[in-house]
């Protein structure tokens, strides 16, 4: 079983959110999950949806603001073991190259 999630936790504040986002990421690190933070959110890879929900809940709770907006999208693969990297490799195989390009190229 593998569960992937895309998590965005954002305090509704003026100015930079990076300090509060860092608190959310630190909360994720307390869980036995893989993750990668991107400019738009954090991709989480967990054994199952319960582990993913727990990490997301702690990330949400870690943000210190009067208002916090959280978005969580889950792909719960219940019958297949697959790493996140394998999903990207599959797309790369179809494209014939890495599915990435830097802005301005």
Alpha helices in 13-71 (DSSP H): 18-29, 49-62
Q: DSSP of 83-100, one letter per residue?
A: -HHHHHHHHHHHHTS-S-
What are the structural domains of the chain? Answer: 2-78 (3.30.70.930)
pLDDT of residue 1: 61
Q: Are 9 and 63 in contact (CB under 8 A)?
A: yes
R_g of the chain computed on alpha carbons: 15
Q: What would the pLDDT profile of 8-17 be if each residue is shown by its tens digit?
A: 999 998 888 8
The answer to whether residues 5 and 74 touch, using CB atoms and an 8 Å cutoff, is yes
Question: Each residue of 19-69: pLDDT tens digit?
Answer: 999 999 999 999 999 999 999 999 999 999 999 999 999 999 999 999 999
pTM for the complete prediction?
Answer: 0.81
């Amino acid at each position: 079983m593998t569960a992937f999630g895309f998590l965005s936790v954002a305090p509704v504040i003026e100015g930079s959110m990076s300090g509060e986002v860092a608190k959310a990421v630190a909360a994720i690190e307390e869980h036995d999950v893989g993750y990668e933070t991107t400019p738009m959110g954090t991709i989480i890879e967990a054994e199952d949806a319960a582990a993913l929900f727990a990490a997301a809940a702690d990330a949400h709770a870690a943000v210190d603001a009067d208002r916090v907006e959280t978005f969580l999208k889950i792909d719960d693969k219940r019958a297949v073991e697959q790493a996140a990297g394998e999903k990207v490799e599959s797309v790369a195989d179809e494209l014939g190259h890495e599915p990435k390009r830097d802005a301005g190229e």
